[in-house]
Every structure is written in C-alpha cells, then in structure tokens.
Structure 1
Amino acid sequence: MLDYISVEQASDKWEISKRRIQKLCEENRIDGAVRFGRAWAIPKDAPKPADGRLKENRKKE
C-alpha cells in the first residue's frame, strides 16, 4: 500500500478538491486508481489528469 496515496493527499498534491479527485476516479480518468470500499487508492506517480474545461487542454478542432 506504500505505492498509493489517498484522495486527500492527491488533493493537496494537485491542488484540486477532494470531491473532484473522487469524480475523476469514478470516471476512470486516473490510471491505476483502485477502490477499497468507500475509499480510493491512487498511485503515487499518477499524473494529474488534464482539465477538459480549460481551453489550452482541449484538442484543436
């Protein structure tokens, strides 16, 4: 379990809300995230998912 971090730790690391981290996990947007009951375990080395709401992160059409 040492290679994983909690939702709270990911929230601090990526500077986004805990609820947003949970939604990203539910949507399978964080590679390697695993659910244990009501909690999520996120790989330490998982990159922060791109925010599709921001213009610079969207694919050019």
Structure 2
Amino acid sequence: MVEKHLRLPAVIDATGLSRSTIYDKMKDGTFPRPVNLSKRAIAWPESIIGQWLSSRVQRAA
C-alpha cells in the first residue's frame, strides 16, 4: 500500500505550526525534512508527521 504524503498546508493543519516555524525547526533539526515529489514539489510522509506529533505528546506527558 502506498503511503499518503502531506503537502505543506496539510502539515500546518496537522501540527498547528506556522510555515515559518516549520522551516525554522527543520533548519535546527527538530522537525522532519520533506521528500521531493518532483522538481518543484515537496511533501512529508504522513507516518513521519504522526511519529513527530506522538513524540511531542510523550515529552509533554
């Protein structure tokens, strides 16, 4: 089964983070990097975003 990939608007909705915060966190290594879908398109695997969110919840608990 093919995994779903999330484009930036969906990642923003899923995480509640702004575009600039996502890119800042990617720069400092605290947010997953996207994969290239084509020359001008990127997306994040849905499972990677889910894992990142789960790790944030576990740290808060």
TM-score (norm 2): 0.51
Structure 2: gaps of 5 or more residues = none
Distance in structure 2 (CA, Å) of the matches to 1:20 and 1:40 = 17
| Corresponding residue for residue 22 of structure 1 | 23
Residues 26 and 6 of structure 1: CA distance in aligned 2, closer, same or farther (over 3 Å): farther
The amino acid of 2:42's aligned partner reads W
Report the number of matched residues: 50
Distance in structure 2 (CA, Å) of the matches to 1:40 and 1:33 = 6
Deviations 1:9-41 (A, max 9, x none): 1111000002222344455640x6213444421
Distance in structure 2 (CA, Å) of the matches to 1:2 and 1:22 = 23
Structure 1: gaps of 5 or more residues = 51-56
Distance in structure 2 (CA, Å) of the matches to 1:39 and 1:21 = 16
8 Å CA contact retained: 2:3, 2:45 = no
